[in-house]
Amino acid sequence: TQYIYRFGGGVSDGGKGDKNLLGGKGANLAEMASIGLPVPPGFTISTAMCTRYYDEGQAFPASVRDEVANGLRHVEGITGKVFGDPANPLLVSVRSGARVSMPGMMDTVLNLGLNDATVEGLAAISADPRFAWDSYRRFIQMYADVVLELDHGRFEEALEIAKEDQGFYLDTELSADDLRKLVAEYKALVQELWGKPFPQDVHDQLWGAVGAVFGSWQSERAKVYRRLNDIPGDWGTAVNVQAMVFGNMGETSATGVAFTRDPSTGENGYYGEFLINAQGEDVVAGIRTPQYLTKAAREAAGAKPASMEEAMPQVYGELARTFDLLERHYRDMQDIEFTVEQAKLWMLQTRSGKRTAKAALKIAVDMAEEGLITEEEAVLRVEPSALDQLLHPTLDPDAPRDVLTKGLPASPGAASGKVVFDADTAERAAANGEAVILVRVETSPEDIHGMHAAKGILTARGGMTSHAAVVARGMGRPCVSGAGTLSIVAKDKIMRCGDREIREGDILTIDGATGQVMVGAVATIQPELAGDFGTLMVWADKVRRLRVRTNAETPDDCRTAREFGAEGIGLCRTEHMFFEASRITSVRQMILAENEAGRRAALDKLLPEQRSDFAEIFEVMVGLPCTIRLLDPPLHEFLPHEEAEFEDVATATGIDIEKLKRRAAELHEFNPMLGHRGCRLGVTYPEIYEMQARAIFMAACDVAEKSGEAPVPEVMIPLVATRRELELMKLVVDKAAGEVFAERGRTIEYLVGTMIELPRAALKAGEIAEQAEFFSFGTNDLTQTTLGVSRDDAARFLSVYVEKGIYARDPFVSIDVEGVGELIALAAERGRATRPDIKLGICGEHGGDPASIAFCEQVGLDYVSASPYRVPIARLAAAQAAL
């Protein structure tokens, strides 16, 4: 096996396709060398060597020593210098380089090959001996830090003292003699801290550094990073050994880093920093303030020190041409490191640059318009979930923040406001024009009006699919849920976090993108849905197959979703309409009624309300399919709790209050999620579904009469497990439709279908499809019932499950493809076998998750349905899944 790959001087043993073997850095160095760019010669020790090094008990096979010797001869041949030769010493850099760039690993050792003899040689052949001694002291300091792992602070301290002694401020003010003395101090420090003298044999230095790079692959920091980023431990890292070029050889030398476009805005202009007479680490370490690359950037910043464009116009010109060449070659924005040694440019690294969501969008669209990439490639270049950042106000990254605690990033966006501890207060304050943050231990459907009124929602309990999270995402309200360190005493209007107290009226800021909770107001930045966003969406829509609908139940949310491109409603949760103040008493009257007649009396009052709800929604969504789900949650969720609420119902119905309370107590359930909910309500009290169906069809007729265009209602029955349940409910719906159409003298096309959200329903999908014209996978409940994990209690332990690798991701966020996914695939297949044209969709939270959308594409569903603010994400993810 070959372990060493050379580059430079017209040789390239590898190229950009060899990242697995050479690591990202090594592959790109070879690539740059092969396209004729000035790359200092060197060689890469492959990742395969890293694997073998560990297999053989952290030892190097003899053959590799020979190969490295060959590699060094390659470099010596090109540079005319000799490794370890005091008369004409070759110095090298040693850098790690895994397939993906990985913080936590040993990074770089520069100036390797200097010792007490070669430093003298280097001093003798340089114009200024200061340069040699500066390089030697840098080398010892770096080697001591990253290879010997000695206390870096002690070396910094010695350097500071050396400067102070002379009254100097900058490193560059130290003379050759000062540096020579510093080197002696550094060597004494190594002896003191390491117990051995600083290695003088240059080959020992090299193998020490190579061993340190390999060793760093298994460092704790690297392991943690790999775990967090799903990087396999057996990839290993490569090591790059490369001839040094010197940015610290005086005023015609420099070093810098640059992006070919602005990585935070995406603006098409070079963006970067450089330092004259410095080595790479000086730019990163912030020891001196770097200078601007371009004149325009310097002027825009009102800065004085000359830009590179002004200070070194010729080299700058060559650099700019290289930027253009690299961008064209890699067809992406590049992140570049370079050094200028005595007016000669050298390229040290190039890679695709990291960027913000905004920049990713702009760069993708610009590059497609420049003809550098295709529209389809542009669609693939933007991370769908990154769009979230663009659709909500975000915190100003430069604003100071006083972080109180952290919860789950349940619904993105940032919001500040006065703390309130209950929904009614939130509504009142909002009506007075105040911005409020609703803080609850957890939320229930009764809090909806308060959640709507609030700018943001904060809860101490509940996971990513808790009520608060789902509703907040639906409304586009920022939400932090499950902030477990908060102790909230709502009745006293106070919460505590450690030794801090927050009272009603105090200002908090929440960041739903990170889960951070801050005391006081933090400045925010408004989203820009400017041209690039729209352009990319058009391109995405051209290639996607999956339709994208929305989960929405208010006309406002429907409008938002349409603006974001929703192609219909995939789930309208009608229970949310039952909580409006004007109707809750009738709802309670219905629940507490002792018989059908009592229920019907209450339902008669609700019918016109529901009818107008649906009519408003149909008007907004005119021409588009609207899936309306009949009542789903257990009835007791609507029950009165407070004395006054019972009194309201007693007054409205004339029923004795004690009797009402007894009836309420009877409705208690031990496990309401598996209790009297979903179609079980419709089976036991068909009049409820009958009223809702009537309201839907009356509203549809109303809108058809008014606008001339009929909506397409799709009536959906929740929590079905058996064919017979659906058959019974379909009879109720069809009967209501027939009656309404007869009354109105018109017919409207509609569908009746079911949610598939129980494993039995998935298994019996073939039979159920005899009754169902569509299936909508309710993956929230399907996940809950398949895994046997309560969606409201999962947050407490699921993160440990993810940490321990039991589930790759939170299964309530991203579909458990192996388990829940298999049920979906099977149900789709069985449903289609019965009814080939059955419409298939998904309306659980997963409908807005890119990985789950990719799965839906694979199974061939017809549509996904996502909350309004996730509609653009779903459109992009669906496009990527189709490509």
**Residue numbers of the site for Mg ion (CB under 5 A)?**
757, 778, 781
Helix (H, G, I), strand (E, B) or coil at 489: strand
497 Cβ contact list (under 8 Å, min separation 6): 404, 405, 485, 486, 487
Pseudo-torsion of CA 615, 618, 622, 626, nearest 10°?
A: -160
463 Cβ contact list (under 8 Å, min separation 6): 408, 469, 481, 482, 791, 792, 794, 795, 798, 810, 812
Closest distance of CB 866 from ligand PEP, Å: 11
Closest distance of CB 340 from ligand PEP, Å: 59
Instruction: List Cα–Cα distances, 165 to 160, 173, 184, 288, in angstroms.
Output: 9, 12, 16, 19
> How does DSSP assign 57-112, residue by residue?
TS---HHHHHHHHHHHHHHHHHH--EET-SSSEE-EEEEEE-SS--TTS--EEEEE
Specify which residues 518 forms β-bridges with.
Answer: 403, 509
The listed partner (Mg ion, ligand PEP, none) that binds 844, CB under 5 to 8 Å by sort, is ligand PEP
Pick the closest to residue 774 from 626, 874, 656 (CA basis).
626
Nearer to Mg ion, 382 or 716 (CB): 716
Q: Of 262, 366, 532, 632, which one interacts with ligand PEP (CB under 6 A)?
A: 632
Nearer to Mg ion, 757 or 845 (CB): 757
Binding residues for ligand PEP restricted to 378-417, rule: CB under 6 A:
none
The listed partner (Mg ion, ligand PEP, none) that binds 366, CB under 5 to 8 Å by sort, is none
Closest distance of CB 719 from ligand PEP, Å: 8
| Interface map 732-761 toward ligand PEP (x if CB under 6 A) | -------------------------x----
Number of Cβ within a 10 Å radius of residue 819: 16
The listed partner (Mg ion, ligand PEP, none) that binds 553, CB under 5 to 8 Å by sort, is none
Catalytic residue among 74, 392, 452, 467: 467
Rounded Cα distance between 160 and 82, Å, is 34
Nearer to ligand PEP, 75 or 571 (CB): 571
Nearer to ligand PEP, 332 or 757 (CB): 757
Pick the closest to residue 148 from 197, 202, 98, 103 (CA basis).
197
Rounded Cα distance between 625 and 432, Å, is 37
Integer-rounded Cα Rg, in Å, for the chain is 34
The listed partner (Mg ion, ligand PEP, none) that binds 573, CB under 5 to 8 Å by sort, is ligand PEP
Task: Give how far the C-alpha of residue 534 lies from the chain's centroid of Cα atoms, to the nearest Å.
Answer: 21
Binding residues for ligand PEP restricted to 320-349, rule: CB under 6 A:
none
456 neighbors 518 (Cβ within 8 angstroms) = no
The listed partner (Mg ion, ligand PEP, none) that binds 47, CB under 5 to 8 Å by sort, is none
DSSP letter at 182? H
Q: Is 467 a catalytic residue?
A: yes
Rounded Cα distance between 828 and 861, Å, is 8
| Interface map 812-851 toward ligand PEP (x if CB under 6 A) | -------------------------------xx-------
Binding residues for ligand PEP restricted to 767-806, rule: CB under 6 A:
778-781
Nearer to Mg ion, 308 or 471 (CB): 471
Q: Name the token pair of 221.
A: 């920091």
Q: Name the token pair of 730.
A: 């379909």
Task: Give how far the C-alpha of residue 107 lies from the chain's centroid of Cα atoms, to the nearest Å.
Answer: 26
Catalytic residue among 50, 626, 701, 843: 843
Pick the closest to residue 364 from 542, 565, 537 (CA basis).
537
Nearer to ligand PEP, 176 or 859 (CB): 859
Nearer to ligand PEP, 332 or 637 (CB): 637
**Number of residues engaging ligand PEP in binding (CB under 6 A):** 10
Instruction: Using DSSP bridges, classify how beta strands 254-259 and 271-276 pair: parallel, antiparallel or unpaired.
Output: antiparallel
Closest distance of CB 849 from ligand PEP, Å: 12
Nearer to ligand PEP, 553 or 702 (CB): 553
The listed partner (Mg ion, ligand PEP, none) that binds 571, CB under 5 to 8 Å by sort, is ligand PEP
Binding residues for ligand PEP restricted to 539-578, rule: CB under 6 A:
571, 573
Closest distance of CB 778 from ligand PEP, Å: 3
Nearer to ligand PEP, 386 or 673 (CB): 673
Closest distance of CB 633 from ligand PEP, Å: 8
Nearer to ligand PEP, 567 or 632 (CB): 632
Side chain identity at residue 881, one-letter code: A
Closest distance of CB 872 from ligand PEP, Å: 20
Q: Is 50 a catalytic residue?
A: no
Specify burial of residue 220 (Cβ count, 10 A radius: 0-12, 13-18, 19+): exposed
DSSP letter at 147? I
Side chain identity at residue 237, one-letter code: T
Closest distance of CB 789 from ligand PEP, Å: 13
Q: Name the token pair of 102.
A: 């990985």
Q: Name the token pair of 463.
A: 């996971």
Nearer to ligand PEP, 193 or 825 (CB): 825
Specify which residues 503 forms β-bridges with.
Answer: 494
Nearer to ligand PEP, 53 or 812 (CB): 812
Closest distance of CB 775 from ligand PEP, Å: 12
The listed partner (ligand PEP, Mg ion, none) that binds 279, CB under 5 to 8 Å by sort, is none
Q: Name the token pair of 629.
A: 């789900």
Instruction: Let me know the angle formed at the C-alpha of 722 by 720 and 724, rounded to the nearest 5 degrees.
Output: 105
Closest distance of CB 770 from ligand PEP, Å: 23
306 neighbors 316 (Cβ within 8 angstroms) = no
Rounded Cα distance between 319 and 346, Å, is 9
Q: How many residues does the chain have?
A: 883
Closest distance of CB 571 from ligand PEP, Å: 6
476 Cβ contact list (under 8 Å, min separation 6): 392, 411, 413, 557, 560, 867, 868, 869
Rounded Cα distance between 228 and 216, Å, is 17
Q: Name the token pair of 20.
A: 């697995």
DSSP letter at 293? S
Nearer to ligand PEP, 182 or 451 (CB): 451
Closest distance of CB 3 from ligand PEP, Å: 53
Closest chain position to Mg ion (CB): 781
487 Cβ contact list (under 8 Å, min separation 6): 460, 495, 496, 497
855 neighbors 864 (Cβ within 8 angstroms) = no
**H helices then E strands: how many in the chain?**
35, 34
Closest distance of CB 776 from ligand PEP, Å: 8
Just list the catalytic residues. Answer: 467, 843
Footprint of ligand PEP on this chain (CB under 6 A)?
Answer: 571, 573, 632, 757, 778-781, 843-844
